[in-house]
Chain A
Amino acid sequence: GQSLEQPSEVTAVEGAIVQINCTYQTSGFYGLSWYQQHDGGAPTFLSYNALDGLEETGRFSSFLSRSDSYGYLLLQELQMKDSASYFCAVSRSGSARQLTFGSGTQLTVLP
């Protein structure tokens, strides 16, 4: 089977940096994605890692360690609008579009 673990809640203040961790167990691992979802909204893609290392996209960065089955999403210069749920999701070889999602991390950004 597959499983992902991520913290249920994280709180930080505006301007700060926050890291959301994700550990996974899956056979045939191919890649790790991150999605953001505001209340009542659609999940939107943030970042993807298939290889070890850091991917940077503006204020968001994502890291993957395949040997540790671990990744994280780093959000810098937090803004109020970053308050949302963040999901990590794994894809497997042969079924790249079949994402298995973690339970989500609710990020609250305080003024």
Chain B
Amino acid sequence: KAGVTQTPRYLIKTRGQQVTLSCSPISGHRSVSWYQQTPGQGLQFLFEYFSETQRNKGNFPGRFSGRQFSNSRSEMNVSTLELGDSALYLCASSPRTSGSSDTQYFGPGTRLTVL
């Protein structure tokens, strides 16, 4: 199976702009989670989507939003970009079976730089 894919891989934006990142999960995986990774804060959970519904949300401002489509692909959007939003944004998919020990499979990430 193909792994998790994320597009674009690199992105440069300026403060105040908005950005949309895309994630295609592994075929058959229905849960998509997003994480932000920075040198200062490490890996932080943004949100999880399953069946087109947000299931969990991390402690991020409302400028960070996402959605999931019927084919499980997901997008996240960041509006009014700030310098501190520069980070590696990682998407992870899991099958979300009945158990709670789903392994999460991470994509290569989108490196966002805000100037």
A interface, CB within 8 angstroms of B: 30-31, 33, 35, 41-45, 48, 50, 87, 89, 91, 93, 95-104
Contacts and interface: CB of A to CB of B under 8 A. Distances in A.
B103 A98 contact: no
Interface residues of B, number: 26
Nearest to A46: B103
Contacts of A102: 42
Q: Chain B's interface: helix, strand, loop or mixed, by majority?
A: strand
B105 interface: yes
Nearest to B58: A98
A19 to B, nearest CB: 21
Q: Chain A's interface: helix, strand, loop or mixed, by majority?
A: strand
A100 B45 contact: yes
A96 B55 CA distance: 11
B11 interface: no
